[in-house]
Structure 1
Amino acid sequence: MAVVRCLVPDGPGATGEPALSRGYAWGMLPQIPDSMATTAKKWAMRVVLAFLAVQTAVVGFLVIFDAIKHRQRKTRPNFPHPGVFQGPVADSEVTIYTYGEDLYAAMLDAIRGAKTRIFMETYIWKSDDTGLQFKNALNDAAARGVEVFVVYDGFANLVVSPSFFKFHPKIHVHRFPVMRPSRVFSPLRSTGLDHRKLLIVDDETGFVGGYNIGELYATEWRDTHVRITGPSVWDLRQTFAIVWNAVGGAPEIPHHSPHTWDLHIRTVNNIPALLVYPIRGLYLDVINRASSHIYITTAYFIPDQQILQALLAASKRGVDVRLIMPENSNHVLADWLSRGFYTTLLREGVTVLRYRNAMIHAKTATIDGRWSTVGTANIDRLSLTGNYETNLEIHDRTFAENMENIFDIDSGNCTELTLADWQKRYVAARISETLLRPLRPLL
């Protein structure tokens, strides 16, 4: 019941006191006793705390349960390797890698053959034998006079000894800090993690995709990366330079204009420091344009309402929408949040494919046999409106054909989920999905 206090006099000689102190005046409502208001606030707080406690308990249980399952399935992953695909796109040459060992060999060859400059940026960099190979190759390059710039994310590498990131003294290094003072004064510009994975050598060869650096990713994860040689490498060089200069790296990397302007290959970058997040808009635009098919592979599928509705609308108008996601990813909470969307997707005819026996970490899409993207951004809030990310947008039918072939091979290692099967899941699973739903905007 609302409380209205009024200083308008209700008769001659009124003192101007609140009318409620002298009885009800016209249009006034009785005051709720302070004790009742206090009790209501306490109950509201208890309800909120109880809900948070239940959420915490559910998350804790899922983490423990997943850890037990992970120990039980500690066997060598067995999954298909689609292979290496190569072909021209306009005046550049583009190679698609789908297995870590193949990619790392190509990246290390490029670093060891560098003559003038290396830009390297990664999210996770393990201090294992694979990580050490990259570190040594960069140190050797700096020792022979190559200018080397390195960027890595501090939060993602908290478990890595700081001593591992001590490089040759001539290497320029920027570590995205875990804690930044600017979070207090400009939180929107300071929330992003550096989730990008880039390597540019001599402004002639560039790599981008989902692979981090480490032995785990070399042989046990299914991911996708691309290498570009030719004039389109300029886009990746500029991508690195913009972020390096924006976050205060030194020395400043000068801007170079491209020799050619090729619209067949374009980089799209989310840069929180500049409040720029175009990758989400890119997905919305191409999904709305689709007329034949949409094939998406993503490690974590937690879309916002606009992207979800765009996919559902595409399916309703007859577009063949297919999603590949891991059956069990490396983040159990992300898995359960993704599962909360399955019923809605399946009811509208979207094909949900769950990748088996290994973690699929690729961030790719191909649409209508003419448009494709490969990059670092997942379809979740962290990637699309939070982190530093880079995706390649490629308009080329041959490249799209290669991406469709890869999707078909990956689909053969998937279990297709049906609505009938999904509705048979345990009641406890349904309750968990509902309780975790408020966490969607956080991931």
Structure 2
Amino acid sequence: MKNYQLFTDNAILYQAMLADILLAKKSIYLETYIYGNDEIGRQFRDALTKKAQEGVDVKIIIDDFGAEVKEDFFHDLIKAGGKIKFFFKIIYSFKILSKNNNRNHRKLLIIDENIVYLGSSNIKQKHIAWHEMNIRLQDEVAQYFASVFLDNFQIAHKHSFLKRFHIAPIRSGLFEIIRDVPSIKFKKIRKRKIELIKQAKKQILIETPYFLPDKNFRKALKSAVKRNVEVIIILPKKSDVKMVDLVRNRYLGLLHKNGIQIYFYDANFLHGKFLVIDDNSFSLGSANINYRSLYIAFEINLFGWDKNIIKDLKNIFFEDLKKCEIFSYTKWETRPIIQKWVEKLLGKIRSNM
């Protein structure tokens, strides 16, 4: 019997998460970037409140920028003993941008330190139709995710902390937890992905909603093609951030000329984030391939070597590929001059994307 389940459909994911929450006996830890003030948000709040009233330890981390709710939304939950922290509360000062740029983009749900959900999905009704990538894993690695959550819970209100104590990789069986904090020096997820790309022998599959790879990431992909490795990337035809789409266009033609296959997913908005290398390894989680995720956000990814998960991820990838249109170099080369100028201009501020 498999100890995991993959979810690309948020409606099914939310049902599974709520069912596990209602079965919790000891603890529920929830961490999310966006929490909607909507029907889905209320369903999660009510389920969590019920468990807190039953004596279950309920702790929640919501990024303050992504939160669409305030503390009073959870009044009954807090009254029952649940604890809520809004991560890095917005600071209003003359340095409002620099002070508030570092956001918590992680998405986790840990039940009884025995079951962990992680991936790309926020808690929001509007996202119900998005195409995601999440995993439910019932494995001893869940207890390590619980430790990582509690570690983040402790620093949720601390804008200053010793970063090296919050980034150590954690290996458990066929899995490894890699986490990032805002840092130019310590970027564990980026480094591990580049390492895996450099080790690829046959095939690299990437699915991501936001694609603004830095120079070294692009170099690793192009070098892989030179080693006769097939590189296929699926992106959304249109993301929910128009500026990111414009900036990514600068790279697509050049990557295509270097032999990288690029496809646009057009069924609905693709928000899943995962990587598969050959038949050997995978990565999935909250991290995008853009400057914000690579350098200035709190992120968390699961890396692994489980052959069954790799097989299922590849099946999902190639099913998604059937709903794609291929990148057209001719269209890219003949796009309007004004668009090229805008792409170049926005590229100067890509550190905020």
- Structure 1 and Structure 2 fold alike (TM over 0.5): yes
Structure 1 residue 394: deviation in Å?
A: 1.0
Q: Does 1:124 align with 2:34?
A: yes
Question: Aligned AA for 2:207?
Answer: T
Say yes or no: does 1:172 pair with 2:71: no
Deviation of the 1:277 alpha carbon:
2.7
1:381 positional shift:
1.2
| Residue number in structure 2 paired with 1:442 | 352
Give the counterpart of 2:43 among 118, 123, 133: 133
CA contact under 8 A between 2:78 and 2:84: conserved in structure 1? no
CA contact (8 A) 1:130 1:213 kept: yes
| Structure with the larger RCO, 1 or 2 (CA within 8 Å, 6+ apart) | 2
Partner of 2:303: 393
Instruction: Select between 104-113 and 229-238 the one with higher mean Cα deviation.
Output: 229-238
Contact 2:114/2:138 (8 A) holds in 1: yes
1:75-109 per-residue CA deviation (whole Å, 9 max, x = no partner) reads: xxxxxxxxxxxx64xxxx12111111111111001
Distance 1:107 1:298 in 2: 23
Deviations 1:100-137 (CA, angstroms, capped at 9, x unpaired): 11111110011101111111111101111111000000
| Whole-angstrom CA distance in 2 between matches of 1:306 and 1:125 | 34
- 1:410-440 deviation digits (Å, cap 9, x = unpaired): 1111111132232232232222222222122
Query: Secondary structure of the equivalent of 1:151?
Result: strand
Instruction: For structure 1, list consecutive stretches of 5 or more residues without a partner in the other structure.
Output: 1-86, 250-259
Alpha-carbon contact 1:355-1:410 (below 8 Å) kept: yes
1:309 positional shift? 0.9
What letter corresponds to residue 215 of structure 1 in structure 2?
Answer: Q
Render the CA deviation track for 1:275-299: whole Å, top value 9, x for unaligned: 7431011111101111111110111
Match of 1:262 among 168, 172, 180: 172
3-state secondary structure, aligned to 1:98: strand
For residues 138 and 419 of structure 1, the distance between their equivalents in structure 2, rounded to whole angstroms, comes to 50
Asked whether the 8 Å contact 1:311–1:321 carries over to 2, the reply is yes
Q: CA 1:136/1:421 → structure 2, altered by over 3 Å: closer, same or farther?
A: same
What is the aligned partner in structure 1 of residue 154 from structure 2? Answer: 245
In the TM superposition, residue 241 of structure 1 has moved relative to its aligned partner by 1.7
**Pair 1:353-2:263 in alignment:** yes
Alignment-derived partner of residue 95 in structure 1:
5
TM-score by length of 2: 0.90
- Percent pairwise identity: 28
**Equivalent residues of 2:184, 2:295 under 8 A apart:** no
Report Cα offsets for 1:160-214 as digits up to 9, x if no partner. Answer: 4554243332111111134349998xx79x7420111100011111100000011
Q: TM-score by structure 1 length?
A: 0.72
Structure 2 unaligned spans of 5+: 159-169
Q: Distance in 2 between matches of 1:278 and 1:389?
A: 10
- The alpha carbon displacement at 1:375 in A equals 0.1
Aligned residue for 2:52?
142
Q: Which one of 139, 147, 151 corresponds to residue 230 of structure 1?
A: 139
- Work out which of the two has the higher radius of gyration on C-alpha atoms and give 1 or 2: 1
Q: What does residue range 44-443 of structure 1 map to in structure 2 within 5 Å?
A: 88=2, 93-157=3-67, 159-160=68-69, 163-166=72-75, 167-169=77-79, 170-180=81-91, 191-218=101-128, 220-247=129-156, 262-272=172-182, 276-443=186-353
Residues 276-333 of structure 1, C-alpha deviations (whole Å, 9 max, x = no match): 4310111111011111111101110011111111111111221111111111111001
The Cα RMSD (Å) is: 2.3
Give the total of aligned pairs.
338
1:229 partner letter: Q
